[in-house]
Amino acid sequence: MYPKRETRSAKMARDNEEKSRTGDKYSILLPTYNERENLPIIIWLICQYLDTSGFNYEIIVIDDGSPDGTLDVAKQLQKIYGEDKIVLRPREKKLGLGTAYIHGMKHASGNFIVIMDADLSHHPKFIPEFIKLQKEGDYDLVSGTRYIGNGGVYGWDFKRKLVSRGANFLTQLLLRPGASDLTGSFRLYKKSVLENLVARCVSKGYVFQMEMIIRARQLNYTIGEVPITFVDRVYGESKLGGSEIIQFAKSLLHLFATT
Amino acid sequence: MAFTKLQQWLLALATFSGFWATLVAKAAQPQHFLHKHEFLVLALPVILIGLFGIYAVFTVLYRVFTFNNCEEAAEELNKQIKQARKDLTSKGFSFEKVK
């Protein structure tokens, strides 16, 4: 008697089962504020890519009291995808990014945490790449980078690119962090590593991401990097104003003197 | 405890200053071969800083001009946004604002 030929879908199901049997679970933290338009798309994309790759995951939405009804949108999505996939952990009002991660992590059941922006500038298709690289090198954290390989940006003019490259050059020179993208916020962490780092970081805003990776180097954590494309869909509005640059310079000097 | 980055820089700076001071002292002696190049020796820190400045400007500009523009990524995303809206609507999701 011939052994039954395995169908393709049966093989895929078996592969997927094997992946979840490793016991790894990925908790994706999505801090949101007025992301009513983007949240359904980003969640659809995450599910699309992670369901096909077969990893065990959950999405934790941390909405900071968005007036545009982001939370209602999240509730609708929860009905479609289920409460085990979409976890809602809203907060009353806008609080810092660092506390959003602490808040989200408290409720995370995964042993790995993915952090990303919910505004579609970070594409979920890179998450399986992060996971693959993490497994290959058993890295403590994997960081997306716009600055090497096929990485890049969309929607940035000359000035924005110049400020970005200039700031990066200066930071690399002064801090030698062992990672090429310091201010990016698309990363995969081992949960214990993220907990340890968040507890040590004091910066606010996007500088927080830089401090996280510098502290990671200081604590001798291993860092892997995956080139990512960053699609900026907000035209004409530069997020790098004078106050951001001053804040950046201050943190840079602080880290220069203390790490 | 390991040195901070600031201490590392100060250490390197001190080392270089010591080395440079020796050169200056040697160049000040008329019989030393460096005496003919005394101006060059005195200007050494300025020259090095200038050279580094040129390197920095060219490196940053080169990286700005070779910064990838991800046109395909933006196109792909726009397509997927349409797909997502269609698929989610078919699953009963409403994109209209409630209330």
Query: pLDDT by residue (tens digit) across A63-102?
Result: 999 999 999 999 999 999 999 999 999 999 888 778 888 8
pLDDT score of A48 more than 90: yes
Please give the share of chain A, as a percent, with pLDDT higher than 70. Answer: 89
pLDDT score of A23 more than 60: yes
The answer to whether the beta carbons of residues A207 and A125 sit under 8 Å apart is: no
More confident residue, A243 or A1: A243
pLDDT score of A17 more than 70: no
Kindly give, in sequence order, each residue whose CB lies less than 8 Å from that of residue A222, ignoring residues fewer than 6 positions away: A137, A138, A139, A140, A141
Q: Is A72 on the interface with B (CB under 8 A)?
A: yes
Identity of the amino acid at A90 = P
Give the domain ranges of chain A: 8-258
Sheet holding A112-115, edge to edge: A86-88, A56-63, A25-32, A112-115, A187-190, A141-145, A223-227
Which of A101, A122, A98, A105 has its CA nearest to residue A205? A98
CA distance B83 to chain A (A): 9
Reduced to 3 states (helix: H, G, I; strand: E, B; else coil), residue A137 is: helix
Of A41, A150, A166, the CB nearest to B60: A166
Where residue B92 falls (left for φ over 0; alpha for ψ -120 to 50; beta otherwise) is: left
Identity of the amino acid at B26 = K
Enumerate the residues of chain B whose CB falls inside 8 A of the CB of residue A36: 97
Enumerate the residues of chain B whose CB falls inside 8 A of the CB of residue A257: 4-6
Enumerate the residues of chain A whose CB falls inside 8 A of the CB of residue B99: 69
Q: Is A76 on the interface with B (CB under 8 A)?
A: yes
To the question of domain A8-258 being in CATH 2.40.128.110, the answer is no
Rg (chain B; Cα; Å) = 30
Instruction: Encode B44-55: b = buried (16+ Cβ within 10 Å), e = exposed.
Output: beeeeeeeeeee
pLDDT score of B60 more than 50: yes
Tell me the HSE value of A214 on the side-chain side, using a 13 A CA sphere. Answer: 27
pLDDT score of B79 more than 50: yes
Query: pLDDT by residue (tens digit) across A224-245?
Result: 999 999 998 765 455 667 888 8
Mark out chain B residues that contact chain A at CB-CB < 8 A. 4-6, 9, 56, 59-60, 63-64, 67-71, 73-74, 77, 80-81, 84-85, 87-88, 91-95, 97-99
Query: To the nearest whole number, what is the mean pLDDT of chain B?
Result: 92
Q: How confident is the model at residue A236, as a pLDDT?
A: 44
Of A120, A165, A259, the CB nearest to B64: A165
Please give the share of chain B, as a percent, with pLDDT higher than 70. Answer: 96
Which of A205, A256, A212, A223 has its CA nearest to residue A33? A205
Q: What is the dihedral of CA A128, A129, A135, A139, to 10 degrees?
A: -120
Of A36, A40, A161, the CB nearest to B67: A161
Enumerate the residues of chain B whose CB falls inside 8 A of the CB of residue A152: 67-70, 73
Query: pLDDT by residue (tens digit) across A159-191?
Result: 999 999 999 999 999 999 999 999 888 999 999
